Amino acid sequence: MLHALAEVSIPALARRAAALVGEYIDHRPDGAAQAAAYVDRRLNQGPAARAVLFPLVTGLLRGALAPALVASGSPASRLLRAELPRRTAGGVRACTPASLCTGPACSSSVPPRARPATTGRW
């Protein structure tokens, strides 16, 4: 199914297809290999895929890494935990440990006032 979605070339439909891939991963985390194949196929389509891929890949990275990056961890890990979100998000300024976390796995790690007011979707 994701293979066919990667072939969608009409911009509005391609954005919706990417959103469907994100929703698929939300419901089926074991589908990460299929999502990676989707991203790979879209990357092969060149710069035109950027507008579709950037939000999807950023959201997938944030969702997958958020619990580890917002955990308090040891004192020795805190600097790296703060630095990694900035580096892995390709310079997205809003990407901080507090902004990464919107899912239930993060609810105890980030105080409610520090969590973004979203529906859990990026």
With respect to residue 15, please indicate whether it lies within any of the assigned structural domains.
yes
pLDDT at 26 (0 to 100):
87
Domain span holding position 50: 2-114
Supply the pLDDT for residue 101. 45
Residue 62 DSSP one-character state: H
Q: Has residue 119 been placed in a domain?
A: no
Domain assignment present for 120: no
Quote the pLDDT of residue 62.
76
pLDDT for res 64: 75
Q: Specify if 60 maps to a domain.
A: yes
Q: Tell me the per-residue pLDDT of 40-50, one tens digit each, with 9 for 90 and over.
A: 999 998 888 88
If one counts the domains in the chain, the total is 1
Give a yes or no: residue 68 inside a domain.
yes
**53 is written with which tokens?**
């891929």
Domain assignment present for 77: yes
- Sites in the chain below the pLDDT cut of 50: 91-122
- Tell me if the pTM is above 0.85: no
Give the pLDDT of residue 59.
Answer: 85
Q: Is residue 122 part of a domain?
A: no
Closest CA to 60 of 72, 83, 45, 42: 42
